[in-house]
Structure 1
Amino acid sequence: MHDPSDHGAITHVAGIEVGHHSDSRRPTGCTVVMARAGAVAGVDVRGAAPGTRETDLLAPGNLVDKVHAVLLAGGSAWGLDAATGAVRWLEEQGVGLDVGVGRLPLVPAAVLFDLHVGDMKIRPDAAAGYAACAAASRQAPEEGNVGAGSGAVVGKMFGMQHAMKGGLGTASVTVAGVTVGALIACNAVGDVVDPATGLPLAGARTADGQALRDTRRALLAGAPPHPLLAGSNTTIGVIATDARLSKVQAQRLAVAGHDGLARAINPVHTMSDGDTLFTLATGVREQHPGMLVLATMAAEAVARATVRAVLTARALHLNDGLRLPCHADMVSTGG
């Protein structure tokens, strides 16, 4: 596995800021990845149960070529309301597309399902999105149980009682003076695995809860999965680069990023996941090493950020009895 002490951050990309809002009333929240000057954007939706906003405008054949932020949130479809708050904050800052009578901020969004963790009536709203923008900075963002990763859970294939805490992670790689970073909120039904070995780092646990079950091997051995509520899992994230890209190239980078999810999550892109990745290209660097290299960098950054999401997660114990250990717990118990 890549050295976790040298993981970088999406904010290493020039022109990118990140802000979180975490709701203290229950584990949920939202995260904004902001490009105030505008960024050429793309998206690729692979999961079969996505919850998204403003993704159609990112199609390469459509008119708008730049957006001003991407909003990631918990709360399932209710959480999309957080993007409205981000739009309001950006408008107040004078950020947005000039439409003659004012500036219109463009903020695509995606959500994950965290309604089984705590009181589902508490979910990110417009005020949460506004607060995330107000908290945004160029500093390396906090990881783990924060923002959109606050209520994230992984390894739910055999029931929530055997699952573990997911979270939010970030990473970046730099080649030839160009940086590609990723920020991932991981709420996958599958396990998060070490890309180098394929062995699970966090995911479904054994019946006694003391060890990792290895979902892939269990399914191939004939273990029946627990009945899953469609759309109750999702990994969402943003890839950012300072390279100058067209909309077609930005969309291709989002496609390549899903290779990183496939390296770090098993199984991934299931009928119960809404896996969605966005790209933001700030264009600060005019020259770049070519799309083949950038695509390789995107996949690597996504894989590393996904691993960070579980390495930095903290255990969660709720009043209703739900216990979600984290990666560190399993290491300490020898699991």
Structure 2
Amino acid sequence: MKQLVGTGVALVTPFKKDFSIDTEALKRIVDYCVDGGVDYLVVLGTTGESVTLNKAEKMLVMNTIVKANDGRLPLVLGIGGNSTYRIVHEVRAFQSDDFDAILSVSPYYNKPTQEGIYQHFKAISEVATKPIILYNVPGRTGSNMLPSTVLRLAEDFKNIVGIKEACGDMKQVQQLIDGKPNEFHVISGDDPTALATVLAGGSGVISVLGQGLPELFSNMIRLGLEHNYEESTKLHEAMSKGMDLIFEEGNPAGIKSIFETLQLCDATVRLPLVEASAELKEKIATFVKPFLKVTA
């Protein structure tokens, strides 16, 4: 899937002060990302606070993004969880020509064995009508999907087309790149290692900061894919502080603070998450403002 090369962004779900979904803000963010040059949009991922949304709210988010995007960029939908039965049911029921692939996280909290992870994705693969991107994020799930398991899935199921790898360990990322089938995508799910992953042979990133600084971040990844080490590294170094700041008090509190600075949406998040502190907001605003002059 060529659509998975470059910069994808894991879109936030903007909320109003009363915690209802702000569809107008969501439209603005979609336009901002498309105009900024990102390559695809990821809908209802962790950054979108999907675990706090009910079914009707998820449909509202999906429909709003589909309409705002208007076919301009490929769309990836997050469908994941720790109940294999429920996820299989959702994936089997999902029918939409508007989405190009599914992003599915490794089961969290249960802490399955590698065989359990394999069987979970095997069950999903057998009912999916869309390509599947695996998602490994040990810091959230409590278990690490090892390269041997990922490569086994990649070899056994042709509709498993890539992995969003957020382990933060470049040795593990390199094992995936070295062992993967030709058409399988290794995609960074970790902003600080995004450029390193691309320079090592990965396909790109599904980014958080990329939706706040879409032009700069997508340019960095394009330069990395072109093996332009010097220029891509300059952009990485310029944004590296922001990569740390937006996760300082949890995701998506940080990236929503950037959007508040940009006047694209409110910084409100849903419990159990809380809005970024005034101190962090000030640091984030200080980080962002010089880039606004660059991209103006």
Name the one with the larger helix percent. Answer: 2
- Which structure has the higher relative contact order (CA within 8 Å, separation 6+)? 1
Length-normalised TM-score, structure 1 = 0.28
Name the one with the larger strand percent. Answer: 1
Length-normalised TM-score, structure 2 = 0.30
